[in-house]
Amino acid sequence: MEKILDRFLRYIAIDTQADPNSESQPSAAKELNLSKLLCEELTAMGVQAELDEYGYVMATIPSNCDKDVPAIGFIAHVDTAPDAAGACTNPQIIENYDGSDIPLKGVEGLALKVSDFPEMLAYKGQTLITTDGTTLLGADDKAGIVEIMDAVQYIVNHPEFKHGEIKIGFTPDEEIGRGVVKFDVAKFGAKYAYTMDGGAIGELEYENFNAAAATVKIQGRNIHPGYAKGKMLNAILIGMELNALLPVEQRPEYTTGYEGFYHIIGFNGTVEEASFTYILRDHDMGLYEDKKAYMRKCVDFINEKYGAGVATVDIKHQYYNMRKEVEPHYHIVEKAKKAMEMEGIVPNIKPIRGGTDGANLSFMGLPCPNIFAGGHNFHGKMEFVPLESMEKASKVILNIISLYAE
């Protein structure tokens, strides 16, 4: 069997950044480079697999037991976030991590500091894989892909391992909220599934944010600054004024647990026109709707102050909290919990302060909680993953399969 580390290093070297400005699916053709490779590797292992026109890889391992076992799926996404360069060709591998800071490249003084990330100390003595400080690592979600592929390889190499029908799915564009827009649940054929897309070892989630994206556009009026008094409307400043209307205490850096937020993620502008992009999040549906309504109220205030049409907002729904769809099938959460305990892992059941493909899949008729993939500090150059966490996650997959086949 190929070692998890070797497989992981192969996958993270492939650039699969999603493109939020593209309307195609997948949003970036380069995502298909990994999807094609995964399909070829599954086929080479003797697993029936196919890659469709939308970038979905679907594969099936037939049941080898004579019991009536529901088909179980495992899903991960091939794309990485657009926040930093996506091809990690120079990762750092720190064996027997000693608990000290880990220097990074790119910017002078850049480092993974224990003072900033004290959770690093939980992995003393383990092997940490980090970026070099110039790219993402890609553990979100190539760690999940590796864990699934490693479990598949084990099953193929151990025909004595009893299991029901197993479904494997790899999706594009999860990072831009379009991961399963064209996913054919009926074709996939699983009754229940799990996304391998969580963070630290032990994480198990069946609740997530309700989510929307908002784009605010400000139409200013540019006048020569020498003659601007009473005439100029500076779109940048007006947008900043609107942003200041949003509650400071409801920003991501001040919230935790079930608390929602307004998060400005982008700005582009001149005096003449400016745009501000946000994501709105809340676990509670009522508070989620309140956030959307308040954003519209802020736009109305700006228009009352500066004139009709100066500010506009486009709010697009992204996904709902999957708890409503998963809780009636809570046994799938219990099986994942037991599968972790079988590996000596203490399950950490908590809400996702984000979303996964599983959220939308759950509302499409495929209950789909989320299991840890092992990584930390996703979406940035501080990303790292302990090798041992990925190894444990692969065993958790096998344990889940065994529990259903009992």
Tell me which residues are annotated as active site. Answer: 79, 174
Q: Give the confidence band of 86 by pLDDT, cuts at 50, 70, 90.
A: confident
> What is the per-residue pLDDT across 237-279, written as a single tens digit (0 to 9) for each?
999 999 999 999 999 999 999 999 999 999 999 999 999 999 9
User: So what's the pLDDT on residue 112?
Assistant: 96
The mean of the pLDDT values for the chain is 96
pLDDT of 105 above 90: no
pLDDT tens for residues 13-37? 999 999 988 999 999 999 999 999 9
Please determine, for residue 188, whether its predicted confidence score (pLDDT) is greater than 80. Answer: yes
pLDDT of res. 336: 98
What's the token pair of residue 296?
């519209």
Structure confidence at residue 29 (pLDDT) = 96
Task: Tally helices (H) and strands (E) across the chain.
Answer: 10, 17
Q: What is the pTM of this model?
A: 0.88
Q: How many residues does the chain have?
A: 406
- What local confidence, expressed as pLDDT, does residue 185 receive? 97
Domain 210-319 has CATH 3.30.70.360: yes
Average pLDDT over residues 158-176: 96
Q: What are the domain boundaries of the chain? A: 4-207+321-405, 210-319
Query: Does the pLDDT value for residue 370 go beyond 80?
Result: yes
Indicate the DSSP class of residue 91.
Answer: -
- Copy the structure tokens of residue 374: 């092992």
Dist. CA 268–CA 329, nearest whole Å: 45
Is residue 226 pLDDT above 90, yes or no?
A: yes
327-357 confidence digits (pLDDT tens): 999 999 999 999 999 999 999 999 988 888 9
* Residue 112 CB-density burial (10 A; 0-12 exposed, 13-18 middle, 19+ buried): buried
Residues 42-54: pLDDT tens digits? 999 999 999 999 9
User: pLDDT (tens digit, 9 = 90+) per residue, 272-309?
Assistant: 999 999 999 999 999 999 999 999 999 999 999 999 99
* Confidence (pLDDT) at 107: 73
Kind plus residue range of the DSSP H or E element containing 292: helix 285-306
Just give the CATH number of 4-207+321-405: 3.40.630.10
Q: Which residue has the higher pLDDT, 67 or 169?
A: 169
Rounded Cα distance between 8 and 367, Å, is 28
At 85, the pLDDT band (50, 70, 90 cuts) reads: confident
Q: What is the pLDDT of residue 395?
A: 98
Q: Are strands 261-269 and 273-282 parallel, antiparallel or unpaired?
A: antiparallel
> Is the pLDDT higher at 119 or at 85?
119
Q: Is the pLDDT of residue 234 over 90?
A: yes
Q: Which residue has the tokens 């009536």?
A: 68
DSSP code for 121 = G
Across the range 201-215, mean pLDDT stands at 95
Give the confidence band of 1 by pLDDT, cuts at 50, 70, 90. Answer: confident
Reported as a pLDDT band with limits 50, 70 and 90, residue 394 is very high
- Predicted local distance difference test score (pLDDT) of residue 177: 82
**Is the preceding omega at residue 347 within 30 degrees of 0, hence cis?**
no
